[in-house]
């Protein structure tokens, strides 16, 4: 999995990493990326992610990927 933030905005020349994928602690990020071949669909590029399930972690709070930012309270 790539660590760091993907540039997704604006879609024509992405310079800002504005978008996130949130997931629970019972998942491990296996890979992520940006679908750059659909620039005309939106002003943001779509993110995608692959996950692995981690049994026994079902009740932990969510986290953000790929760098693990926590939401503000």
CA distances from 61 to 3, 25, 26, 29 (A): 20, 7, 9, 15
Question: For the segment 13-67, what is each residue's pLDDT rounded down to a tens digit?
Answer: 999 999 989 888 888 999 999 988 887 778 999 999 999 998 876 565 666 655 5
Cα–Cα–Cα angle for 48, 52, 53, rounded to 5 degrees = 125
> Would the pLDDT of 70 be above 60?
no
For the entire predicted model, the pTM comes to: 0.62
């Amino acid at each position: 999995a790539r660590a760091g933030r993907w540039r997704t905005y604006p879609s024509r020349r992405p310079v800002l990493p504005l978008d996130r994928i949130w997931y629970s602690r019972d998942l491990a990020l296996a890979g992520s990326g940006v679908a750059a071949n659909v620039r005309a669909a939106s002003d943001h590029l779509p993110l995608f992610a692959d996950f692995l399930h981690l049994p026994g972690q079902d009740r932990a709070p969510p986290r953000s990927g790929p760098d693990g930012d926590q939401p503000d309270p």
